[in-house]
């Protein structure tokens, strides 16, 4: 059954009365200042006092807009508070309950075979369908997968003509969106172009050198994107360049995804907490595996894809253990390698890093706690173990000092504002004060013209911004009146925007048609935080 946006919002408003009642008391306390360098923004970001203020006013707004709270006047009632805390703690059956194996060697993603023998042509069939995967005695969830594979990989060479036929074996509409590829909107799996159950369509596009990099694909179905991804539909899409300066380095692709199971070991429904904050299950997986073992034998290139619905991954790389260089972002290679010790990768974002082990001691790959100011009674953010790294000091491969040349975009002719906001009771996630409407074009822009987009987050929680089509160039960040610039030429298609922050980007669209832009916390996208720009 399809939930219409209206019923969804009604449900949210009913439930929100209860949840918000205790939010002021049970919201996690602010993490202390975070002094890590977050190179996904390219600038040093610290959670500053502005965010505290913004968050504060956000809380007040939640409380004052909920009349039931003040009339109950039970916010300090210890019974009520404990009940709510308990409820939030018990919402997830603990991961350990299911007996899923950990510490298994990381398996590479299954590659989808090219059916074409013609040079320069990649042909394949993708069949989204139900498949039961056994994880343990207690968990054999019915997933929705492409060709029955968990997170399959499509790998093509830059310049290849791609023809992928999608045969929809689901009981509902679907589309396939090629996240990160600057291909025509008509081939990009927009919600306007659904594939009906048992119908099929062929996506056709030609790749080029500018598209080289680590990308991915997932459904973009009207109001059903988050559900279809939560059930397992996604895959990696890698475009290789013939003149890749890092081609000699052994590589692994690490696809991070989320799994939320109910106590029967089936894919859990979204509850209010998921709808508000985005879905984060009890399993943070890599290539579909729980805390796998990763062999790091000498220098390796890792392609990282955050395919989570909502989980922010704030990687920390202990410098006693590894030397890490950022070499690519959503937009492919950056001009020169940047040494990093941490990396914030929000849903939809990709990065490539080159990792060299410094010792043979086993250590954990960790995501440090990142406080994105979730709403409601959620537990305090904690550090998360993602994998066990088994390093072997081996051949140390030196990186070239220049990876590529990037031409910055010229001066813009138009400035636009994109403002993220939220409304409570009923809960709404908005762009420029409006919910997504398939029949409304939010902006019109001319093909080939450079525009400056200013994305401001006026809500109390982090949201990220994604624009379909070519990567945009990040120009500057503004926090609390302080403007900073990325330390290198930075092209991205997805970027985090913190509460109170404004990010300025240059965008140039290369094909006519409708491009979507949205928060890539998929539950927010489905709840309306999405707009459309028509390129003329
Ligand atoms: Cu990864 Cu509009 O999506
Ligand atoms: Cu996209
Ligand atoms: Cu969001």
Residue 164: phi, psi to the nearest 5?
-120, 120
Helices (H) and strands (E) in the chain, counts: 8, 33
- Could you tell me the CA-to-CA distances from 397 to 34, 53, 250 in Å, in that order? 32, 46, 10
* 235 neighbors 217 (Cβ within 8 angstroms): yes
Expressed in angstroms and rounded, the spacing between residue 391 Cα and the centre of ligand 1 is: 34
**Closest alpha carbon to 229 in 313, 124, 305:** 305
Round to whole Å and give the CA distance between 315 and 317: 7
| 516 pocket-lining for ligand 1 (C-beta < 6 Å) | yes
Q: Is the peptide bond before 426 cis (omega within 30 degrees of 0)?
A: yes
pLDDT computed for residue 230 by the predictor: 98
Expressed in angstroms and rounded, the spacing between residue 90 Cα and the centre of ligand 2 is: 34
Expressed in angstroms and rounded, the spacing between residue 203 Cα and the centre of ligand 1 is: 16
| 468 pocket-lining for ligand 1 (C-beta < 6 Å) | yes
pLDDT computed for residue 20 by the predictor: 34
| 220 pocket-lining for ligand 1 (C-beta < 6 Å) | yes
pLDDT computed for residue 395 by the predictor: 82
* 306 neighbors 350 (Cβ within 8 angstroms): yes
From first to last of the 536 residues of the chain, give the pLDDT tens digit: 333 333 344 434 434 433 333 333 333 333 333 333 344 444 444 333 323 333 333 333 332 233 233 333 333 333 434 444 445 667 899 999 999 999 999 999 999 999 999 999 999 999 999 999 999 999 999 999 999 999 999 999 999 999 999 999 999 999 999 999 999 999 999 999 999 999 999 999 999 999 999 999 999 999 999 999 999 999 999 999 999 999 999 999 999 999 999 999 999 999 999 999 999 999 999 999 999 999 999 999 999 999 999 999 999 999 999 999 999 999 999 999 999 999 999 999 999 999 999 999 999 999 999 999 999 989 999 999 999 999 999 888 999 999 999 999 999 999 999 999 999 888 999 999 999 999 999 999 999 999 999 999 999 999 999 999 999 999 999 999 999 999 999 999 999 999 999 999 999 999 999 999 999 999 999 999 999 999 99
Ligand number, closest to the Cα atom of 277: 3
* 253 neighbors 109 (Cβ within 8 angstroms): yes
């Amino acid at each position: 059954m399809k939930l219409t946006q209206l019923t969804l919002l009604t449900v949210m408003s009913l439930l929100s009365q209860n949840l918000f009642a205790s939010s002021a008391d049970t919201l996690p306390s602010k993490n202390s200042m975070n002094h890590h360098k977050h190179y996904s923004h390219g600038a040093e970001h610290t959670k500053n006092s502005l965010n505290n203020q913004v968050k504060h006013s956000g809380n007040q707004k939640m409380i004052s807009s909920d009349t039931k709270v003040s009339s109950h006047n039970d916010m300090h009632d210890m019974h009520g508070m404990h009940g709510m805390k308990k409820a939030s703690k018990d919402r997830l059956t603990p991961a350990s309950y299911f007996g899923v194996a950990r510490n298994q060697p990381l398996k590479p993603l299954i590659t989808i075979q090219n059916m074409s023998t013609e040079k320069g042509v990649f042909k394949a069939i993708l069949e989204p369908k139900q498949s039961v995967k056994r994880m343990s005695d207690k968990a054999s969830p019915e997933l929705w997968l492409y060709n029955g594979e968990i997170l399959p990989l499509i790998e093509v060479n830059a310049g290849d003509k791609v023809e992928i036929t999608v045969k929809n074996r689901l009981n509902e509409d679907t589309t396939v969106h090629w996240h990160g590829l600057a291909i025509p909107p008509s081939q990009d799996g927009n919600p306007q172009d659904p594939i009906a159950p048992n119908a099929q369509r062929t996506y056709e596009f030609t790749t080029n050198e500018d598209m080289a990099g680590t990308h991915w694909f997932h459904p973009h179905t009207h109001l059903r994107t988050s559900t279809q991804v939560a059930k397992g539909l996604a895959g990696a899409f890698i475009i290789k360049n013939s003149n890749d300066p890092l081609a000699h380095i052994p590589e692994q692709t690490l696809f991070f995804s989320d799994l939320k199971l109910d106590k029967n070991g089936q894919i859990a429904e979204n509850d209010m907490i998921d709808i508000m904050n985005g879905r984060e299950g009890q399993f943070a997986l890599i290539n579909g595996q729980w805390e796998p073992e990763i062999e790091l034998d000498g220098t390796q290139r890792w392609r990282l894809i955050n395919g989570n619905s909502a989980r922010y991954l704030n990687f920390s790389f202990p410098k006693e253990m590894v030397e890490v260089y950022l070499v690519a972002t959503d937009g492919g290679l950056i001009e020169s390698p940047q040494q990093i010790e941490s990396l914030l990768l929000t849903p939809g974002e990709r990065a490539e890093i080159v990792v060299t082990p410094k010792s043979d001691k086993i250590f954990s790959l960790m995501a440090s706690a990142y406080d994105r100011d979730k709403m409601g009674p959620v537990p305090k953010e904690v550090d998360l173990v993602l994998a066990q790294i088994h390093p072997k000091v081996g051949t140390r491969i030196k990186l070239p000092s220049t990876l590529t040349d990037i031409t910055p975009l010229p001066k813009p002719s138009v400035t636009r504002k994109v403002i993220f906001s939220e409304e409570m009771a009923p809960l709404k996630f908005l762009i420029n004060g409006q919910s997504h409407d398939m029949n409304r074009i939010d902006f019109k822009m001319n093909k080939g013209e450079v525009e400056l987009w200013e994305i401001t987050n006026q809500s109390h929680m982090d949201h990220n911004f994604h624009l379909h089509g070519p990567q945009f160039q990040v120009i500057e960040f503004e926090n609390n009146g302080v403007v900073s610039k990325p330390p290198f030429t930075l092209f991205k298609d997805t970027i985090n925007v913190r509460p109170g922050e404004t990010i300025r980007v240059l965008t140039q669209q290369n094909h006519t048609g409708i491009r979507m832009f949205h928060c890539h916390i998929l539950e927010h996208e489905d709840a309306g935080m999405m707009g459309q720009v028509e390129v003329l």
